[in-house]
Amino acid sequence: MDQRDKLSGMTVGLHWLLAFGMIGMLVFGLVLEDMPKGDSKAALMWWHKGLGVAVLAFALWRLGWRMTQGFPAALSHAPAWQEKIAGLTHWFLLLGTLFMPISGLLMSLSRNRAVDVLGLFTIPPFGEIEVLHEVAEAVHGLGGKLLIAAIILHVVGAVKHEAVDKDGTMARMAGRRVEPRIEA
């Protein structure tokens, strides 16, 4: 259970698992985007799709956890505009862990391509649904770029908490207990 002065192992673990997973998949996607078509790209796409489904499974778990726990309380005050941006960024990052793998899946499934999930099971295709494919492709492409921007903003916020506010937010995200110092 999350507490104000210490986040649960579940919260910390899911945060970092999805952080590294999403950053890795975004980099992987950018590399794939620049590759010419061929056997090497097809092999890497197989991994990208399978790992994307794994990310989606953990993202659903994290969403459920976040909905039952709520977002962690701030350890220090910030101007209202910063708190608003932080809240929007947190929601966008959380939803991004869902819309990126879902849109990626829909790109394949709407092109009548099954998705083999790391050899464990196969998700059957929908058939040819061009409008769905185009929407999914737009969401996946633009969403990836917007997620990169949101991740950078999130990291800048984390650095601010550490270097300027010195409020223990980074220690708490590392699973350590901190003394909250909310000013009145």
Query: For the segment 39-97, what is each residue's pLDDT rounded down to a tens digit?
Result: 999 999 999 999 999 999 999 999 999 999 988 888 888 899 999 999 999 999 999 99
What total number of domains does the chain contain?
1
In a domain, 1, yes or no: no
pLDDT of residue 73: 84
pLDDT of residue 184: 47
In a domain, 184, yes or no: no
Residue 14 has pLDDT above 90, yes or no: yes
- Of the two residues 28 and 4, the one the predictor is more confident about is 28
pLDDT of residue 9: 93
In a domain, 104, yes or no: yes
Smallest CA-to-CA distance from 57 within 105, 90, 12, 92 is with 105
In a domain, 3, yes or no: no
Residue range(s) defining the domain that contains residue 143: 9-173
Residue 110 has pLDDT above 80, yes or no: yes
Whether 105 contacts 38, CB under 8 Å: no
In a domain, 51, yes or no: yes
Residues 146-182 have pLDDT tens digits of 999 999 999 999 999 989 988 988 999 998 998 766 5
pTM, 2 dp: 0.90
In a domain, 144, yes or no: yes
CATH code, domain with 81: 1.20.950
In a domain, 180, yes or no: no
- Of the two residues 90 and 2, the one the predictor is more confident about is 90
- Nearby residues of 26 by Cβ (< 8 Å), 6 or more positions away: 100, 144, 147, 148, 151
Smallest CA-to-CA distance from 20 within 73, 90, 85, 97 is with 97
In a domain, 53, yes or no: yes
pLDDT of residue 75: 86
Amino acid identity, position 169: T
